[in-house]
Chain A
């Protein structure tokens, strides 16, 4: 089952390698990983997307908690949550395909953020399956490059991941 795990971690050198090292060492997979600053400059926030059963995710969260720099761990998939990912796609946009590509971007509520005479760069934001659907919906011969951010997520409602 797909899991989205959010982690607050001390913003220190080497902390990230402990997390990725843990996944490698214990044979857990990482489908995507995003890391970024937070409003508190001493903390980073990670979102890890992984596939695990209940026992597996219990071990993953416990071992994440064991890492000395990890401050908080939340398995977002245990409760209602939102996930979002950003994708930049560079496509060939020439001749007839140019108008078609513009239409497809509109259908998926994407924005064209960069234009040349022969290409568009389209930005899409959404749940990750929406982004995949876009790629599947357009002619694969026209796709020049795809850059995806990996998912980030947050719990719905009043539930928060923060230090008291």
Chain B
């Protein structure tokens, strides 16, 4: 019954791991051909794979785990998807209904354990309720602000001996769940009015532009107005990095020009972003002179951290289309309303910031140097990786270096754990992306710390012949932790280093049946990366272990408690002198 409903929902893959309470379901999977089941090595990886599959395609990823430990192992992945609003369906086997509450073998209250990190959850009460619940679960996961939905399914409700009439519903109607799609017209009119009056505007876009498939519309709106665009970590790729009005990422490790543009702006147009603490720095000092327009599909995200002057609740694509229409109307009425000269001055000011402390201004990056700087490795990767490659990452310094130095041109190409910051995400995420787009080039940029959190999946990669390219920026330490310890804890590296006990990654991946390469010297960097992406290794998973400078910090970095423009620029410079 369950598998039939999933087939009718058009599910391609289930990422999962079997166990007692899920055995009826696994038997049903065995007897069919339509859905391919991907056997992982740990349930957490299954959730990251499904999550990344969803991020690459926009379609909910599906996970199947058993009760108890299977379910609890899935929690980190569910929380990861929840924080980044990724649509996912997690089906967890449960002990038979008559044993629930008795502390039965492998029993966990999955509904209770997962409650704070799901968009919704269902405990299946009967066989006949399955099709309706599956339909609702997919609808809830993918609509409005997307998120993970858990279906906890007691073993007796999957018993093939119990039958019920099957009919898959074609539509869903829920009186209690009707997310807004279209923005309030009056607010759209006000928003466009503010944009036309702006002298120092900036678009601040986030993951909502991806989920809302609004990149094309965003580009149209930004081009029509000639406004600069910055994005959050989750929004990278929503606006092409090659565009002259692109400012790079904003926030804690955002660019100098993006954070200064935000701070000095008179009109911030936030679309599908949530004013996360990693963006705003101290909210009371946030964008002091700006009118804040905030477009988001989730009303609870609006005015949560920063009060919005113009709140617009709706889907990004729909609201931007409304804005474009309204813009035409208002421009037709008064064609000279937009102060182009002021905007040009503003863009020139931003350019001056960029020339002063932009990421390209770091002279060290162009010089061959040993040990290799991690930024150099990322820039070399950007030159060598196939155009339009997907890049996943783990969490830490390497993640920030990619966000800063890898120019993403298209949406849904940059897949990482932003909200929860889950180490161990990168490898399974790359696997999920590869399943979503079998012919695509998929790169996982990781660090040796993160990689060791889910490396068991190298075995899954061999089983399904996934030709991933894993680029490990190996600094022999938990780099971001160490950076904070350097900056705030007097350089006391409490439990952030383990140089003497790292494995030989090349022989490690070799033992899993893959190709391992190592780079010590700058001169080897590009040739080795080329080798990784060469035709010879086209069908193979290649792991490139790049030994990078362990002393390097990620800059710029926000100064805690300051405004967005307050940043450390290097180990010896900060912006406080300017202000």
Contacts and interface: CB of A to CB of B under 8 A. Distances in A.
Contact of B299 (A18, A21, A55, A62): A62
Interface stretch (A31-39, A63-71, A104-112, A146-154): A63-71
Given A71-B175, A71-B176, A18 B300 contact: no
Contact of A62 (B174, B300, B307): B300
A164 to B, nearest CB: 10
Given A62-B300, A68-B140, A17 B112 contact: yes
B304 interface: yes
A163 B298 contact: no
B306 to A, nearest CB: 11
Interface in B140-159: 140
B303 interface: yes
A99 B121 CA distance: 56
B300 A59 contact: yes
Given A21-B116, A25-B116, A71-B176, A66 B111 contact: no
Contacts of A58: 303
B165 to A, nearest CB: 23
A66 B304 CA distance: 14
A10 interface: yes
Given A69-B176, A71-B176, A21 B300 contact: no
A71 B174 CA distance: 9
B115 A18 contact: yes
A104 B304 CA distance: 48
A14 interface: yes
Nearest to A70: B176
A1 interface: no
Interface string A9-22: 11001100110010
Given A21-B116, A25-B116, A58-B303, A68 B177 contact: yes
Contact of A13 (B120, B123, B303): B123
B115 A55 contact: no
Interface in A39-86: 55, 58-59, 62-63, 65-66, 68-71
Nearest to B117: A25
Nearest to B176: A71
Contacts of B119: 68
Contacts of B299: 62, 65-66
Contacts of B116: 21, 25
A21 B111 CA distance: 12
B89 to A, nearest CB: 14
Nearest to B116: A25
A68 B148 CA distance: 13
A35 B298 CA distance: 27
A83 B307 CA distance: 31
Given A17-B115, A21-B115, A25-B116, A10 B304 contact: no
Interface in B300-322: 300, 303-304, 307
A137 B140 CA distance: 53
A70 B177 CA distance: 8
B115 A163 contact: no
B311 to A, nearest CB: 11
A55 B175 CA distance: 27
B174 A68 contact: yes
Interface of B: 111-112, 115-116, 119-121, 123, 140, 174-177, 298-300, 303-304, 307
For the complex of A and B, 9 pairs with smallest distance between CB atoms: A62-B300, A71-B176, A68-B120, A25-B116, A62-B299, A68-B177, A63-B300, A21-B115, A66-B300
Given A21-B115, A71-B175, 10 more contacts: A10-B176, A17-B115, A55-B307, A58-B303, A59-B300, A59-B304, A65-B299, A66-B298, A66-B300, A163-B175
